[in-house]
């Protein structure tokens, strides 16, 4: 989605707002609509093309309230608007489980994903990123940086999950095809044929890893899932597979988008780039700002489990509520100057990783790889510009970029490597 400030686009009216239509995320921006909703209709109903009604919350406080209240707002029905009819994996995989079962799957996998673990992996991740950025520079001229950013999740978490390096590139492409099957960058036929193929390709790789870890357990997520005790029993083969799939999808569909939006934001704002270059200690803060700025999951869906009052609206059980993370992260009630990309922002309680019991378990490896990427850019790049049309992902769920032509200038040879 374009990151246009509402003031720079024609003002929407409530009757023209459509948060569902995936095409609106390709060629325009929802920031104007989100601001209008925050101000005038903080609890707002819309219908999907198949006639399901969903309620939208766009204010930071309402989004937080919904996501924190997992007793009244469940995840098992599905967490994205693309499957309002119910997700077939509901109740069987970490992100689509409610407590208490959810805790039994989540708790044992947390240590593998901690900041402590990410620090342990950091030297290897740094070597790989250094090489990737160097190769890009060596290619010279204008190159599409989405090829680079798509490599990041597996570099950060491929080993942690248990995916062999030989499969990283395919897994990343098919995971994106799985989340945006009708985007021209990933479609291999109709949306349903692409989705079917993506699942088949991913499940083939994952099943092979699962078979291998049965024989030779390693220190990774797949091995951990195989040995979980979920209330006196093990996960069955299908549940292990679905959980592996959730970890892959969680990593691949989000991390590259933060990197791509970061590169785009810095390319369009040379003053921000100069600020981080002059002060590499700002790298962690710049990454948090990129997370807020990009908000790669536009929304998270929940279904009410009981009668509940949401703002001024009484909802019965079984109602769908979309918590718009992208809108909450621009709420002027919380963020000063929210439409400004400020790499030195100090107060930044963004919700890019969600909040509550399902808050992103992969946040530490994601933050680590994004920091390493930015540090490498500072070490290796003198400057860079957007050098062609930027293309945005066709999805109401993921705020993605599928084409990012960048022309970069390397630092002069005698300075290279000073900061890395
Ligand atoms: C910048 C990168 C990332 C962003 C913005 C992000 C965002 C999110 C969000 C918003 C949620 C909450 C979902 C919900 O409440 O329904 C989530 C959950 C999750 N994420 Fe991430 N994610 C990122 C990276 C990763 C990585 C690298 C991994 C894997 C290594 C991962 C794996 C997961 C998993 C397994 C869940 C489900 C956790 C649960 O339900 O308890 N994510 N992520």
> pLDDT tens-digit profile of 383-409?
999 999 999 999 999 999 999 999 998
What pLDDT is attached to residue 11?
84
Q: Which ligand 1 atom sits nearest the alpha carbon of residue 161?
A: 30
Q: Which ligand 1 atom sits nearest the alpha carbon of residue 365?
A: 27
Residues in the chain: 420
Distance 90 CA to ligand 1 centre (A): 16
The token pair at 263 is: 């590169």
E strand intervals along 31-94 = 43-47, 53-57, 73-74
In this structure, is residue 164 part of a structural domain? Answer: yes
3-state helix, strand, coil in the chain (%, to 5): 50, 10, 35
**Structural domain boundaries enclosing 66:** 6-410
In this structure, is residue 207 part of a structural domain? Answer: yes
* Minimum CA distance residue for ligand 1 atom 41: 358
CA distances from 151 to 94, 204, 245, 255, 334 (A): 24, 20, 17, 10, 33
| Cα 275-281-286 angle, rounded to 5 deg | 60
The CATH number of residue 60's host domain is 1.10.630.10
In this structure, is residue 416 part of a structural domain? Answer: no
Helices vs. strands in the chain: H and E counts, helices first: 15, 12
Pure H helices in 216-282: 221-226, 237-252, 255-268, 270-278
In this structure, is residue 48 part of a structural domain? Answer: yes
To test ligand 1's pocket by mutation, which of 362, 368, 371, 399 has the most ligand atoms within 8 angstroms of CB? Answer: 362
* Minimum CA distance residue for ligand 1 atom 15: 358
* Minimum CA distance residue for ligand 1 atom 30: 362
Q: Which ligand 1 atom sits nearest the alpha carbon of residue 243?
A: 35
Tokens 């080993």 sit on residue? 159
Q: Which ligand 1 atom sits nearest the alpha carbon of residue 97?
A: 40
3-state secondary structure 116-134: HHHHHHHHHHHHHHHHHHH
CA distances from 181 to 82, 94, 189, 193 (A): 11, 23, 9, 8
CA distances from 309 to 175, 314, 317, 358 (A): 37, 4, 11, 22
To test ligand 1's pocket by mutation, which of 110, 175, 254 has the most ligand atoms within 8 angstroms of CB? Answer: 254
Facing residues of 322 across strands?
Answer: 56, 301
The token pair at 66 is: 């919904």
In this structure, is residue 417 part of a structural domain? Answer: no
Q: Which ligand 1 atom sits nearest the alpha carbon of residue 258?
A: 1
| Residues whose beta carbon lies within 6 Å of some atom of ligand 1 | 75, 79, 94-95, 106, 153, 156-157, 161, 246-247, 250-251, 254-255, 258, 296-297, 300, 352-354, 358, 360-362, 365-366
CB 398 within 8 A of CB 357: no
* Minimum CA distance residue for ligand 1 atom 14: 358
What pLDDT is attached to residue 420?
34
Chain centroid, CA 106 distance in Å: 19
Distance 144 CA to ligand 1 centre (A): 26
Q: How far apart are CA 77 and CA 85, in angstroms?
A: 8
Query: What are the per-10-residue average pLDDT scores of the chain (420 residues)?
Result: 85 94 94 97 96 97 98 98 94 96 92 90 95 87 94 96 97 97 95 96 97 95 93 91 97 98 97 96 98 98 98 96 98 97 97 98 97 96 95 97 95 58
In this structure, is residue 238 part of a structural domain? Answer: yes
Give the three-state DSSP class for 45.
Answer: strand
CB 178 within 8 A of CB 388: no
Distance 362 CA to ligand 1 centre (A): 6
* Minimum CA distance residue for ligand 1 atom 33: 250
To test ligand 1's pocket by mutation, which of 360, 367, 374 has the most ligand atoms within 8 angstroms of CB? Answer: 360
What pLDDT is attached to residue 419?
44
Q: Which ligand 1 atom sits nearest the alpha carbon of residue 366?
A: 27
Q: How far apart are CA 142 and CA 384, in angstroms?
A: 10
Distance 233 CA to ligand 1 centre (A): 26
- DSSP one-letter string for 186-209: T-SSSHHHHHHHHHHHHHHHHHHH
Residue among 244, 359, 343, 344 nearest 297 (CA):
359
The Cβ-side half-sphere exposure at 391, using a 13 Å CA radius, reads 12
Distance 103 CA to ligand 1 centre (A): 15
In this structure, is residue 123 part of a structural domain? Answer: yes
Q: How far apart are CA 55 and CA 303, in angstroms?
A: 10
In this structure, is residue 239 part of a structural domain? Answer: yes
Residue among 364, 382, 371, 399 nearest 286 (CA):
371
Distance 224 CA to ligand 1 centre (A): 18
Distance 50 CA to ligand 1 centre (A): 28
Domain count within the chain? 1
Distance 246 CA to ligand 1 centre (A): 9
* Minimum CA distance residue for ligand 1 atom 35: 247
CB 385 within 8 A of CB 267: yes
CB 75 within 8 A of CB 105: no
């Amino acid at each position: 989605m374009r990151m246009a400030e509402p003031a720079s686009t024609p003002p929407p009216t409530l009757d023209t707002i459509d948060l569902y239509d995936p095409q609106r995320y390709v060629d325009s921006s929802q920031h104007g609509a989100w601001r209008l909703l925050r101000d005038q209709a903080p609890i707002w109903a819309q219908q999907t093309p198949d006639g399901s009604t969903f309620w939208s919350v766009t204010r930071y406080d309402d989004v937080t309230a919904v996501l924190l209240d997992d007793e009244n707002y469940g995840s098992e029905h599905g967490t994205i608007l693309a499957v309002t009819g119910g997700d077939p994996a509901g109740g069987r995989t970490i992100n689509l489980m409610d407590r208490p079962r959810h805790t039994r799957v989540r708790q044992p996998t947390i240590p593998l994903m901690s900041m402590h673990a990410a620090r342990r992996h950091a030297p290897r991740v740094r070597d790989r990123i250094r090489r990737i950025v160097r190769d890009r520079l060596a290619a010279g001229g204008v190159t599409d940086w989405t090829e680079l950013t798509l490599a990041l999740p597996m570099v950060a978490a491929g080993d942690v999950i248990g995916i062999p390096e030989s499969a990283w590139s395919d897994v990343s492409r098919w995971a994106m095809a799985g989340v945006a099957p009708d985007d021209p960058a990933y479609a291999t036929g109709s949306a349903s044929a692409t989705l079917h193929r993506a699942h088949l390709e991913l499940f083939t790789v994952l099943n092979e890893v699962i078979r291998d870890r049965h024989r030779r357990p390693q220190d990774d997520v797949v091995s951990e899932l195989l040995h979980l005790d979920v209330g006196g029993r093990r996960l069955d083969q299908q549940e292990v597979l679905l959980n592996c799939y959730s970890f892959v999808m969680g990593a691949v569909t989000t991390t590259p988008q933060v990197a791509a939006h970061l590169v785009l934001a810095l390319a369009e704002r040379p003053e921000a780039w100069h600020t981080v270059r002059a002060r590499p200690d700002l790298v962690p803060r710049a990454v948090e700002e990129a997370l807020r700025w990009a908000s790669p999951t536009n929304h998270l869906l929940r279904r009410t489990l009981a009668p509940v009052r949401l703002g001024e609206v009484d909802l019965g059980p079984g109602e769908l509520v979309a918590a718009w993370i992208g809108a909450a992260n621009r709420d002027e009630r919380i963020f000063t100057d929210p439409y400004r990309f400020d790499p030195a922002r100090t107060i930044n309680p963004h919700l890019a990783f969600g909040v509550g019991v399902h808050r992103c378990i992969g946040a530490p490896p994601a933050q680590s790889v994004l920091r390493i990427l930015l540090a490498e850019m500072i070490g290796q790049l003198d400057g860079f510009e957007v050098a062609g049309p930027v293309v945005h992902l066709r999805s109401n769920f993921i705020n993605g970029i599928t084409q990012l032509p960048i022309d970069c200038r390397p630092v002069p040879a005698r300075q290279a490597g000073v900061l890395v």
